Amino acid sequence: MARPVKYKTDEERLEAARLRRRRWYDKNIAHERLKALWRKQDRRLTRCLVAPNDHQAQSLAMATGCGFVEGTSANRCSKSRAMDFEALAATMRSTLDGLAHTNNIVDACTLAQTILAMWTRAGHHQWGLKIYEEYVRVQLGEGDESRSLEDLDAVIEVGRDFQACIDKLSAQAFDVDPSGHGAVWTELQTLRREAARAVDIAEEMALLYHDGGIASLSDSFHTNSLIFQTC
């Protein structure tokens, strides 16, 4: 028996295709926004590394005294922000709000992976290095110190809320499958560990900077004792 005709006219086929694209966009909007944000950050970092100006060269000499090791990306890029922490916090907050209204545990787990990727797409070491670069950039007077510190604190705050959300999802996953061997439960435990490490990295440098300034932070950087340097 032949398969029944689903669409009788070209208009019906076009309308169905439009609806499919709309559903795909609604489902993946957070991921698409994340990719757009990372493309923007990559373009900024590339411009900084490829075409440093005289002011950046002067900042480089100053940054070396503040704890940068010669040859690192932090050494090559001090004026431009390696990461827009204000935009990152806002995007994470928006995505986290969407996660709170997701009823399907599998979809929620996928969205949680997207949120974590905002921090650790290139690994925990690069995440920590970008934060360290920001503190040195602030110390060099390149930007509003109070605003930059507020942006970093906002990232930490949304990170803590993300951890609380993962804990809630873990409880839901355990209710669904108390065996502790389910795929969703296992993935959420990995997310919990990764998120905790990302928050610890940010919190450690915030505490060092607030307690002892850039001197205390750079001392820890020189001795490779920061959490992200062991990742």
Of the listed ranges 20-34, 58-72, 96-110, the least confidently predicted one is 58-72
Average pLDDT over residues 25-38: 62
- State yes or no: pLDDT of 183 exceeds 90: no
pLDDT at 17 over 50: yes
Residue 206 has a pLDDT of 92
Confidence of residue 15 (pLDDT cuts 50, 70, 90): confident
CB-CB neighbours of 224 under 10 Å:
9
Q: Tell me: pLDDT of 142 over 90.
A: no
pLDDT digits (tens, 9 = 90+) for 58-93: 433 333 333 333 334 444 444 456 678 888 889 888
State residue 204's pLDDT score: 93
- Asked if residue 32 has pLDDT above 90, the reply is no
Surface-to-core class of residue 52, CB atoms within 10 Å of its CB (0-12 exposed, 13-18 middle, 19+ buried): middle
Residue 211's CB is within 10 A of a number of other CB atoms, namely 9
Closest CA to 126 of 65, 214, 55, 197: 197
What is the model's pLDDT at position 184?
Answer: 86
Helix (H, G, I), strand (E, B) or coil at 163: helix
Using a cut of 0.75, tell me whether the model's pTM lies above it.
Answer: no
The torsion angle over the Cα atoms of residues 221, 222, 225 and 229, rounded to 10 degrees, is: 60
pLDDT number for residue 115:
83
Residue 139 pLDDT level (bands cut at 50, 70, 90): confident
Do residues 116 and 194 touch, judged by C-beta distance below 8 A?
Answer: yes
Supply the pLDDT for residue 43. 56
Percent of the chain with pLDDT over 90: 20
